[in-house]
Every structure is written in C-alpha cells, then in structure tokens.
Structure 1
Amino acid sequence: MLRPRSIAIVGANDDPRTIGGSVLANLDAFGFTGDIHLVSRKKTRIGERSCLPDILSLPEGIDLLVLIVPKAAIADAIRDSIARKIGSVVVFSAGFAETGEEGRILQEELAALCREADMPMLGPNCMGFINYKDGVPITFERMAPRALGTSKAVGIIAQSGATASNIRAAMHGRAIDVSCVVATGNEAQTGAEDYIEAMLDDPQIGLIAVYVEQIRNGPRFLDVAHRARAKGVPIVMLHPGASDKGAEAALSHTGAMAGNHAAMRTAMRYAGVAIVETTEELFDVSAILLNWPTPVPGGVGVISNSGAIRGLSFDFCEAIELPIAPLAQPTLDRLSAEIDGEASNPLDIGTTGFVRPEIFGTSTQAMLDDPAVGVVLNCHVGGAPNLQIVKSDHLLPVFDTAQKPVVLTILGDEDPLDPAFVKAVRDSGIPFFRSPERALRAIRVVQKYADDLAALQTRKTPAIKLPRLEGKGTIPEYRGKDFLRELGIGVPNGRLATTVAEAEAAASDVGYPVVLKAQAAALAHKSDAGGVAVDIADATALRAAWEKMYASVGKARPDITLDGILIEAMDADGTEMIVGASRDPNWGPVILVGLGGVWTEILADTRLLPADIDQAGAIREIGMLRSARMLGAFRGKPARDVAALAEVIVRLGALMRAQPDIAEIDINPLIVRVEGKGVTALDALFVLN
C-alpha cells in the first residue's frame, strides 16, 4: 500500500479541483514512476492516459486501488477489487461508523470483505497518505513534492486528516523532514498500530507522531510500542477523550467508542510512549525527542540574559511541576567564573554576552556536564541581527555534540528575527521557540518521559506465590478480609457474628471499643443502609447497635438477608489511603492508589499503575500523588510506611495477573501506619466475574 509500483484510481477526473483529479495531479507532481491505471464511467481518456470503464477491466495484481465512488457503491467495488487480486485499497468516502449504527454495519461489511481477502484497506473516512520518501502522494489535498535530507525524519499517523496535515505542516515549518504521513480515518480494517509497524521498517524514521481518538487493538498497539522503544524510535501520542465531551466528539468523528482513558495512558506510559496534552506539545516534544530519543532524567538548567526570566522560571517550573536542577558546586564555580559573579540555576548572564559572546556556548556546556541536569534551556533577548548570529555561532557547536537536549528560546514573540539566524537555527535542528513557557511545557513532558524510560530499564516484576480467591459476584467484606490475611495484608482484629451472643464474645476478645458492620454480598455500600456503627464502648451499647442495625438494614434493603455482623476493633491510627484494581477490556488489569477515605471522590488524588509494577515503581508512583507529603514526616509527625503501601500495590497487581476472573478490588480506607508498622485494610471489596 505505502510503496506501490502500480496504482489504479477509480473515479479519476481531469479536473484537479475534484478528488479524483487531485490524486492524479499529486502523483504527476511527485513524479510517480510506477504504472497508473484510470477508471472512469464518463471519460475514455484523461490527458495522455486512457480510461477503463470499470474495475473488472483492470489487469490483475495492481498494488493499490484508490476508491473515489459514492458510499453505496463501495462494497461492490471492493468485491470487484478482490476479484482482480488488487493488493490494497484506500477509501476516502465518509458516511460510515461516524454517522451511527447503519453506517457502522456497512463499514464492518467492508472490513470483513478485506479481511477475508487479506487485502489491507485504509479508511474509510480518511484523507489517505503521503510517502515523501518514495514519492507516493495518495491524498486529495494538493501537495508539492519535498525531498528528504540525510538526517532523521518523522513519521506521522493520525485518525484525523486535518490533524495529520497540521502535524506535517508544523514539522516542515521547523525544517524537520517527514518521511511518511498517514491519515487512518475510521480504521475499519487497518489501524494506527499497523502503520507504526510499517514505519519501524524505515531506518530514516527517528520518531513517530501519533494522533488517535481510540485505539481499537490495545494489546497489538502495546506490542508495537515496545518494539519501537527497543529500536530507539520514540512514539509521541496525543489522545483526546479524557473528558466526556472529548469522548463524545471522538465517537461522532471516527465512530470510535472511547475506552478507559486513564487505563490507556497508564498502559502507554509503561510501554515507553510519550503522552502529550495538546497539538503544540505534540509538535514541540517531537522536535526535541527526534534529536534525543533517549533523554536523560534530571532537572532543567535555564540560562538567560534577562534577570526577569530567572524569577519567572522559578514560578512557572513550580506551577508545572518541572524540577530546576540543583547544580553541583564544581558547576557553580565554573559558571561563577564565566559571569564574574555568584552563579545559580536559573543563570542570569546579564550583559556578559555582549562582551564575551562565547559564554552562550561555555555556560551551556557547563550545565550539560552537571549530572543533575537533564536538559538545558537557553532563553535570550534576540538583540540586533548581528548579535543573533553571534549567539548561534557559539551555541550551535555545543548543540551538535550535546548528549542531552539543548533548547533555544529567543524572546520577542512574533517580532521578526534575522533570516540568516533563523535559517542557521532551523538547519541545525536545535529545538527553537519564541515563548519560554511553551518551551518549558515541552521540556516537562520530555523529562517525565525520561523518568519513565529509566524506570522501565530497571523494572523487575516480582514472582509471588498467591492464594486463590474462590466465589463469584461480590464477595462479602468478612470473606474479603480473610483473603487479605492470606495475601499477607493486615486487617483489623475481629470476626463475623451471627447472634448477639457471638457478637458480645467477639467484642470481648478483640477489646472495646469496636465497630459493627452488616455483612451481605449485595450490601456493598453498608453505611447508606445504616449498616455501620462505630465506637461501640461496651456490651450494652453493642446490643442496642445490633438491634438497630438489623432494623435499619431490613428497612433500607428488605431484599437481602444478612450473613451476620462483622465485629472488629476500632482502628484508625494512620493516614487513610485507597488501593484498588480493575480490569479494562482493552488494556487489562490496572491498579489504583490514592488518598482514601472520604477524600477519595472529593479530591480525586489518584494514580493508575500497571499490574506488573514492582516495588520501586510503586514507590515512585506514590511519590507523584499530590498528597504524597502526607505520607512523609511533617510538623512533628513521623513518616508513614510507604514501603508497606507499595507492597500492597505489588501484591494486588500480582493477584490480578494470576486470577483473571477477579474484575474489581477496592480497599478503602487502607490505614498506612508509622514507618515500619505496616498497613491495615479497614474495608475490602472483591468482585469476581
């Protein structure tokens, strides 16, 4: 499909303003040297080429057929293509799954035909592709050929044709070569993962920029992503759908039902995919990672000839959670000698650059040599044209040899820069910005990606021998806690009572005060039905609470019969967290950790983790919570047992991998005690398919 030696255009036209005419005009403009066959019901010739009346008149074995026919005629056209042993097909036409159920059924018919014939189909509802490297422009957007240089190029894949064009234009605007761009549309039979795999065979492609609204084959996408990471080819991905409206827009655009967006992001991060939030970040992060596909973890070093930028950098980096690198004393000494004053990060070189312009390069090199620095941002006032060239003359040689990203920002917004300076910067490939905030946002993504890659390099998924949880549906809390004990996760001292006498005996054994919890598989939210009583101080209070609880639950839920009431010791000395697990149909099991108790839904401070995470990875993710400081020592309170919390995460992840019939786990709250004292699960919910 992407490198055809022969092409047939069905619906060809001599008017370049039409779709059939623009595809043909593009092929001629690019100088396509293969065979071109034209099919038209209205014309016998277009220019010097003859036209055939229908697909069945074509010779057998043509590599690629471009279908420009009405929606209602496409299924028959594909059947005829299969009869002529066509190798692949591109369908531009819209009106399929993106329009509703009727269109979805028709789209699936096309896909089934192509699958059965092993004939790859791009589309429908797509803008086609442009293979710049081999000169194959199969798109109705009028294009001009563009020769590739010898440097690394970008591959582009987008389910949106307009976004594919936007990314391509942005890359070309930065003087970055594009080897191939594919607009996949509805992805009825081939998906983004197939085109990523194809691009990995192109040794010139050093990065793949991807825009997807839904990934239809999660496991295969992850497999291809792992292969890209192994080859050192970053995938930078923009995926809308985090909001309900975003998911709704995706459905109406390409017929894509949005899955669990958070689960997707987790899976992608741990497959080595760089996730971005905006098209600007997609452009900017791609420009950086194309030059440094394996960035180094560390903070940012900022160099400027503006004192204001120094203060603004502190504020902005803190706001976007980008660490400013703490420079080692030898680095500070080198920089102090450069500026004849006290150095710091961010570094204000002041007017030194006017007297000794070499400082633009030497200060950058000094920061690059510091092990705490992962990336260096040069952010300068441009000045007169001759001064702009002086900056680039001293900075670009450092960029050429840098093993860490070097990013350049020239202040002044849209104020025109010297054309010679712009050409020198663009030709060098150095990532170039006019806004320091935009540059820092991109750097933040790159450094988070660097941290993720480093964690993946050292991850060691533990092998844990686990018990098996038996049953189906919702498991009552008391059984869930018995199972947690077997897993090695702490639970309060207590037991199930089926009579008030058993309850008194249990309370006497565990010691007052106690908590009472009504127990039944169908009573997941006990407090809503009056099924929880706390701080029961003695036997008299216990008997009263027992009678009241049975009456309350019976009134609220007359449809259920209680197994009994769980009697437990009161236990709340620690920080309340939540640890849970769920099984996404596309991405598999994921683990959730966050601030628990009543704060879970109010603050929504949670992280999603893959089920094969290790102890070190779990501790790292816990540290990314906004509430992470609550687990550390502060205001005279001792640090909490983060290692024990991480161990719960690891064990639940291992359980979800080992027992596929477990659909959901919810431990909330999980009390995290003082460091070294472990954790205690105050509530536990297990749901089995």
Structure 2
Amino acid sequence: MSGGGIQQGPDLKVMFSPRSITIVGVSNDPGKLSGKPFHFLQRYGYQGDIYLVNPRYRQIDGVRCYENVAKVPRQADLAIISLPAAAVPQALEECAEQGIKAAVILSSGFAEVGEKGQELEDRIREIATRYRMAICGPNCAGFINVTEKVTASFVQALEYGELYPGPVSFVGQSGALGTAIMAVAARDLIGFNFWVSTGNEAVLTFADYVSFVIEQEDTRVVIGYMEDARNGEALKQAAYRALELGKPVAILKAGRSEMGAKAAASHTGALAGSDKVYDAVFRQAGIIRAHDVEQLLDLAVICSSPRQPEKPRVAVATISGGAGIVIADACEEFGLQLAKFAPETIQALQEILPPFAAINNPVDLTTSLLLYPDLLTRSMRAMLVDPGVDNLLIFLSLQYSKAEELARNIAEVATGSSKPVVVSWMGMPREALSILRDTHIPAFTDPTRAVKAMALLVDYNRRRELYLKLNSKYKVAPTHSSNQAAAKEIIKNSRISGKGVIPEFAAKQLLRAYDVPVPRGIMVKDEDELAQVEDKITFPVVTKVVSPDIVHKTDAGAVILGLDSVVKMKEAYRRITMRAREYNPDAYIQGVLVEEMAGSGIEVIIGIKQDRRFGPVVTVGLGGVFVEVFKDVSLRPAPVTEQEAREMLQELRAYPLLLGIRGSEPGDINELVKVVSRVSHMALDLKNEIAELDINPLIVYPDRYGVMAVDAVVILQKESHEGAVPDSYHN
C-alpha cells in the first residue's frame, strides 16, 4: 500500500465489492450531492444492504434512517460520507469503531483549501493508519463498480442512460473531467469495469487504484487522467505488473506546459513535476501517454480488443481511394508500414474484385461494395491469410442500407482470425457500432485516429516484448558492494568541508569507483609538489583549480590547457590560484588538479538529478558548450539497462553524430551505453547522498577506443538520508 505509511494495507476488494453500505449524511433530496449516492444505488439495482445515517430523518424511500453510525444494527463494509469537512474525522472514527473497513469521502474542504483543511486531512490519514482503512478521497467524486452496480458516487453521468459493462477501467484525478469522459464513453458504447475519482489521495493513491484494477479479470485496459503521481515508485511497479499481465495502461498526463503545471497546482494542491521526467518514466514503464481525451478514448477502444496490433505491417481495404491515400500518409507518419502482398494474395483479389479495382495496397473495393457486401468479407479473408500482413484496416463511409449486414460480416471474419482487424467508418450507424463493440472489433470514425491508435499499440507491444525478454526491469546486473563502499567513503570525506559540493578531483574518484574512465591526474596542494608530477603522468597536461566554491572553473579563468613542462605547470599554478581568489575571495581552494590532456572526440553530457516523485533520473545528451543551447537530452529513471541506454541515445537529435556523418568515424557507442548504465546504478546506489551530478563533457572516441569523463561535479544532498524510512505518502 502506497499511502499514509500503512504497513499492511487494507484490502481494496472490500471497498469495491461491498456486501453492505452505510451512507453518512444522506439527504432525502436526490437532487443534492448528499442524496445522489442512495438514489443511484437504488436506481441501478445494488444488491447489498444499505444503511442510512442522518438524525434529521426517520426514513427515506422506505429505508430506515439512523441517528448515528453506532445505532446501525449491522456492520457495513463501506461507508459513503457526505458531511461538512469539519465533521468528517469524527464520523470516520465512528465508522472505524463499528468495524467498517473502507470509506468514500465525497466532502471537499481539505488540503485543497489550505492549512486548516490540511489538518483535517491529516486526521483522516491518522485514523486510516490506525484502523487500516481504505479511504477514497476526500474531495472526490467517488467510484463505480459497473459489474456489481456499486455506484458510490454523485456524478451527473449517472443521471443518463445505463451503465455499460466492459473491459475498460478508468482512474482519474479530476472528478468533473472523469465524469465527462464516462459520459462520452457511454455515448460511444465503450463499456467500463471500474471508474474511480481519486480526489486528494489522503490514503489511497492513483497507483493503488491502478494496482487493484489491473488484477481484476474483467479489466483488459486501464485509462487515466493524471496531474501528479504522488507515489512515483508505486506507479512504476503497477505499470510493470500491467506489462506482465499484458494489460495496457494509457494516461492523459496534464501539466505539460508551465501554465498547465500552475493550473494543476491550484486544482488539487499538487505539483505537476517535470514533464520530461514523466515522459521518461512512461516510456520506461510501458505506459502509453495520450495527448488528449479523444486519443485516450481511442486507446480504450483499441486496447479492449483481445487481438491487439503488435507488428507494423498493415493491409488496407477501403471504399474510397482518397481515404486510402490519407491512411497511407498516416501510416508513414506514425511508423506503420503498408504490407506488400504476396503474389497469391494479388491473384485472389483480382478474382474477387471488379477489373477496375485497385489491387495494390491500399485495396480500393470501389462502390461495387454497395451492391455486393460479400466483396468485403472475401477480400478480408484473402488479405488476412497473407503471411506479410500483420493487421487489417477497413475504411467505410455511410452504407446505411446494409450497415448491420456489413458489421456482422466484418465481425464474423475478424473473430475467426488471429490478426487484428480495425474499422474506420465515417457516418457509422449506431446499430453497426453496437455490433462491432459487442464483438470487440475496434471501430473509429476518423481513419487517422485509427492509424494513430494502431501505431501506439505497436510501440507498446514492442516495449512489452523487450520488458518480458529482460524478464524484469530490476533484474539487471547489480553494482558490486565494494564500489558502493568506496564511493560512500569519498562522499563522507567530502562532507567534511561542509560545502555540499564534491569538486572535480574527488568527483572523478567517485566515477572511477563505478568503472567510468577518467584521465590520469594528481591534485597538488602547493607549487613544490609539481616536481613529483613529471614521472607519474604524460605531457601535455591541463591544470584546473580544485574548489567546492568554484564549480564553473572556466568562468573563473582557472583552467589552463596544453602544458608540456614542469616550468609551465608552475607558472599555470600561480595564475590559476590568483584568478580563483580574484573570482571568489572567500573560496576554499583545496589545490590544483594536473591531468593528462584528453584527445578530441564527440562531447556528450551524462547527468543525475533527484526527482521528487520518481527518485534518481539519468540524462544523456549533446555536451560541452552546446548543452544549454540545444537542450538535446534524453531522460530515464535509474537504473537503466544497456538496451535502455541505447534507446536514450537514439532519441537524441544529435545521434547521427555518434553514427558518423560525412566521412567521420562512428563513436564508441557500445562503451558509451555501458557508462550510461553504470552511472544510473551509481545514481540508485547513492540516491540518499547525491542530489545532482554532471559529467560534462564525456568524450566519445572512435569505435573501440572508448570514452573519457573530462570534467565532473557532484552536488550532495543537504544531509545524508542513509537508513531513513521514506514517507510513502509524499515521495
């Protein structure tokens, strides 16, 4: 359990599948928020017992109303609380004393409104910890278990129509947006298994709900709306488990822009966090990132099918040549391929279709389909048996007169094939949509949306295959304990200065402990020691000031290159120390570093930074003086495998430089990915010690000649957190 420090968390099954429910603060007016949960439970046919608590009423709709929770004759599994915020902690305590193990707190007025509300929320968390209660909210819209008709919610979407059961579960950090998504899904005949509004997440977090719903047999896909992952590690673990189960998780993560992040902060009091870090986490953990609500629902549709696109080769059957061109363009844009038909397939299509039909992919069925619906099914079978075809995309428009027949024919062929069949049908009649939804055939109105959804699933399944091949994200080669011991000793000695910065010489010792190549070098504390350097390193050399107070040595003029004698080194020593004191008179100067000059090559940067939600994050990008100009970097949470490190490099705009361009030699990419992986292990091993690390530049030499960390700086955590127990609510 990832909330509130609960050591052995409550069973969410009790909350989501209660045998009985107590509603505290119920109203007899179904138009009021506090009256809606009872109204909906009755309307949708909840089969368990319902107990009502409100001293103002004796009964509501024939159901007895009790003065307080203690007067209820039987213990309920779930409490729905709708009271003023100040009254909620006492009511929750009374529920806990009666043995109720779960509660939905619909009331607002907690952390989202300020300090007093935060105090009330802290009391809720304390009660939940003491009684091991599962708490949804506060400040939430509740949840719905569609299959069991548990409508522990007040949302307006329940006022209309029916609940459509289906394989999609939704978890969202906005009740209003989540309600709208549910309403649009119902309009489009997308069925839900669970729907959850998380609210302030005082106890249960977004990740807890995802962890629960992915284990439910009737859930095939999880979609969500997120502003902030309050427990980043729990979210990653839930995503990895979903990968193992083959259940895609698609999330619309808000707060991409600075304005969006500020809006998220004012919405729930949560900080949105670095959007680039979220991108990296999602990519690593196999979470599909939806870019808008429309795409989120498209992903729900395509992931609901038991036959999901896994490979990129697509056959297209269309009634419109123009639509075929649109689909071909979209396939190229989003990374899919038009399948090349085998000769047997072309011959079969020639025998099926009229002589004026276009046989090459995309296949134009022509308007003959309006008269002969079987042209489609026969063509489908011919294309689906082609070994060069991975998926079939069908485009239709209108066809009102024979829509149901076409839909049934498509469903019959599609369900009889192991390959995914996707339909784009503009102006699709609702009766046809119903047939396709009932048979789990993904159906879209717009062809480009269909292609985008297919491409996202192909990429998801590629990442899932890689994850399963590696067996587990965390089953990577561990760092040897002696490396950790040596590194921690270096950090311990560096803390003595009290500056919070490990300057270059010690930073490179730290890197050496993790097998990151660094130049041979010696730190001298006075000019006389330079005479001993000549026999230990090879000229030419570079000299640099060593000071925790001068991080940017070049800005201080405290770096001198290309020295080839002791005489020149002594002169450089005097100039460097003088410039350093002029730059910062109060600087603590430990000495001067004398190092062998590194050869030229491609300059990259490797960095570590602690993210408040996801822990240590590793960055790699174009380095040297260009890092701030081009900002060409890729990120991943630590640790990363060598395969993940290679993917990070491939994401860079500057990656062609590493491959070699215009006759230049390719860089030693194999050694570079090893170093990125080693640094990621260091980030994880020393996460309680290191706040930031920059290796800039790291020189990448030609292939098989290795890499070299030329400069490095480490910023320490303000104090060591070694041995501390993390607060699982606020990680």
Q: TM-score range, shorter-chain basis?
A: 0.7 to 0.9
Give the Cα separation in 2 of the matches to 1:352 and 1:642. 54
Contact 1:353-1:360 within 8 A present in 2 as well: no
Q: Which amino acid aligns with 1:619?
A: R
CA distance in 1, matches of 2:280, 2:80: 37
Q: Are 1:589 and 2:604 an aligned pair? A: no
**What is the DSSP-based 3-state SS (H/G/I as helix, E as strand, rest coil) of the residue aligned with 1:668?**
strand
SS state at 2:310 partner? coil
Shift of 1:26: 0.8
Aligned to 1:524: 551
Report Cα offsets for 1:327-351 as digits up to 9, x if no partner.
56x6477348736899999635374
Q: Which of these residues, 107, 118, 124, is aligned with residue 121 of structure 2? A: 107
SS of residue matched to 1:77: helix
Query: What is the root-mean-square deviation in Å for CA atoms of aligned residues?
Result: 3.4
User: Which of 90, 94, 103 does residue 76 from structure 1 map onto?
Assistant: 90
Query: Residue 32 of structure 1: SS of its match in structure 2?
Result: coil
Q: Which residue of 1 aligns with 2:700?
A: 672
Q: Distance in 2 between matches of 1:676 and 1:313?
A: 44
Equivalent residue letter for 2:91: A
In structure 2, C-alpha distance between the alignment counterparts of 1:246 and 1:345, rounded to whole Å = 46
**2:397 corresponds to 1:382:** yes
The answer as to whether partners of 1:513 and 1:569 remain within 8 angstroms in 2 is: yes
Alpha-carbon distance between aligned partners in 1 of 2:155 and 2:535, rounded to the nearest angstrom: 80
- Kept after mapping to 2: 8 A contact 1:98/1:186: yes
Q: How does 1:110-259 map to 2 (within 5 A)?
A: 110-142=124-156, 143=158, 146=162, 153-259=167-273
Return the letter of the residue paired with 2:295. E
Counterpart residue number, 1:56: 70
* Counterpart contact for 1:332–1:344, Cα < 8 Å: no
Q: CA–CA distance in 1 between the matches of 2:531 and 2:409?
A: 82
CA separation of 1:123 and 1:310: change in aligned 2, threshold 3 A: same
**Aligned counterpart for 2:465 among listed residues 428, 450, 454:** 454
Aligned pairs, number: 679
Match of 1:290 among 304, 308, 313: 304
In the superposition, relative to structure 1, how do residues 310 and 671 fare at CA in structure 2: closer, same or farther (>3 Å)? Answer: farther
Alignment of 1:127-526 (within 5 A): 127-142=141-156, 143=158, 146=162, 153-292=167-306, 295-298=309-312, 304=318, 306=320, 308=322, 312=326, 316=330, 322-325=334-337, 327=339, 331=342, 334-335=345-346, 338=349, 347=362, 349=364, 351=366, 354=369, 360=376, 375-378=391-394, 380=395, 382=397, 384-386=399-401, 392=407, 395-411=410-426, 416-459=427-470, 461-465=476-480, 467=483, 468-469=486-487, 470-471=490-491, 472=495, 473-500=500-527, 506=533, 514-526=541-553
Change in Cα spacing, 1:533 to 1:220, as seen in structure 2 (3 Å) is: same
Identity over aligned residues, as a percent?
30
Aligned to 2:58: 44
Partner Cα distance (1:686, 1:458) in 2: 35
Question: Which one is further off, 79-88 or 675-684?
Answer: 79-88
Change in 2 beyond 3 A, CA 1:387/1:13: closer
In 2, Cα distance between equivalents of 1:426 and 1:22: 30
Report how far residue 124 of structure 1 moved: 0.8
CA distance in 2, matches of 1:626, 1:343: 39
1:106-161 per-residue CA deviation (whole Å, 9 max, x = no partner) reads: 21111211221222221111111122211121211252574666xx5111111211
Q: Which amino acid is 2:200 matched to?
A: N
Find the partner of 1:565 among 592, 607, 614.
592
Residues 477 and 77 of structure 1: CA distance in aligned 2, closer, same or farther (over 3 Å): same
C-alpha displacement of 1:306: 4.8
Distance 2:360 2:117 in 1: 58
- Checking the alignment, whether the CA contact within 8 Å between 1:209 and 1:236 is kept in structure 2 is yes
Which of 628, 632, 645 is the equivalent residue of 1:601?
Answer: 628
Match of 2:4 in 1: none
Q: 1:133, 1:661 → 2: CA distance?
A: 45
Report if the CA contact (8 A) 2:638-2:683 is conserved.
Answer: yes
Going from structure 1 to structure 2, the CA distance change for 1:606 and 1:299 (only over 3 Å counts) comes to farther
Give yes or no for contact 1:352–1:359 (8 Å, CA) kept in 2.
Answer: no
Q: 2:675 aligns with which of 648, 658, 672?
A: 648
Work out whether residues 114 and 121 of structure 1, in 8 Å CA contact, stay in contact via their aligned partners in 2: yes
> Aligned letter for 1:347?
P
- Secondary structure of the equivalent of 1:593? strand
Shift of 1:291: 1.4
Matched AA of 2:102: S
Q: Which moved further from structure 2: 481-490 or 501-510?
A: 501-510
Deviates further, 307-316 or 565-574: 307-316
Tell me if the contact between 2:24 and 2:54 (Cα under 8 Å) persists in the aligned partners.
yes
1:516 is paired with a residue whose SS is strand
Q: Distance in 2 between matches of 1:551 and 1:245?
A: 46
Q: CA deviation at 1:162?
A: 1.6
Distance in 1, matches of 2:245 and 2:415, equals 22
State the AA in 1 paired with 2:697: P
| Distance of aligned partners of 1:627 and 1:439 in 2 relative to their CA distance in 1, 3 Å threshold | farther
The structural deviation recorded for 1:505 is: 7.2
Are the structure 2 counterparts of residues 575 and 507 from structure 1 closer, same or farther at C-alpha, using a change threshold of 3 Å? farther
When residues 356 and 33 of structure 1 are mapped into structure 2, their CA distance, relative to the original with a 3 A threshold, is closer
For the Cα contact (< 8 Å) 2:58–2:65, is it kept in 1? Answer: yes
Tell me what 1:555 maps to: 582
Which residue number in structure 1 is paired with residue 6 of structure 2? Answer: none
Contact 2:170/2:192 (8 A) holds in 1: yes
Q: Is 1:377–1:408's contact at 8 Å kept on the other side of the alignment?
A: yes
User: Do the aligned residues in 1 keep the contact of 2:365 with 2:375 (CA within 8 Å)?
Assistant: no
Question: Alpha-carbon deviations, 1:508-548, whole Å to 9, x = none?
Answer: 97666543322112322222322233455777876665444
Shift in Å at residue 678 of structure 1? 1.0
Normalising by the residue count of structure 1, what TM-score does the alignment of the two structures yield?
0.88
Letter in 1 for 2:425: I
Three-state SS of the structure 2 residue aligned to 1:667 is strand
Distance 1:353 1:477 in 2: 75
1:164-210 alpha-carbon deviations (Å, 9 max, x no partner): 22332333233232122111111111222333343245321112222
CA offsets, 1:446-505, max 9 Å, x none? 222122212212226124436221223422212222443453333234433444565587
Q: In 2, distance between residues paired with 1:489 and 1:341?
A: 65
Tell me the distance in 1 between the aligned counterparts of 2:385 and 2:538: 62
Distance 1:393 1:17, change over 3 A: closer
Amino acid at match of 1:205: T
Q: Which secondary structure state, in structure 2, belongs to the residue aligned with residue 524 of structure 1?
A: coil
Structure 2: stretches of 5+ with no match in the other structure: 1-14, 718-731
The whole-number CA distance in structure 1 between the counterparts of 2:275 and 2:283 is 12
Q: CA deviation at 1:648?
A: 0.2
Q: Distance in 2 between matches of 1:640 and 1:390?
A: 59
* 197-206 vs 263-272, greater mean Cα deviation: 263-272
- Contact kept, 8 Å, 2:250 with 2:288, in 1: the verdict is yes
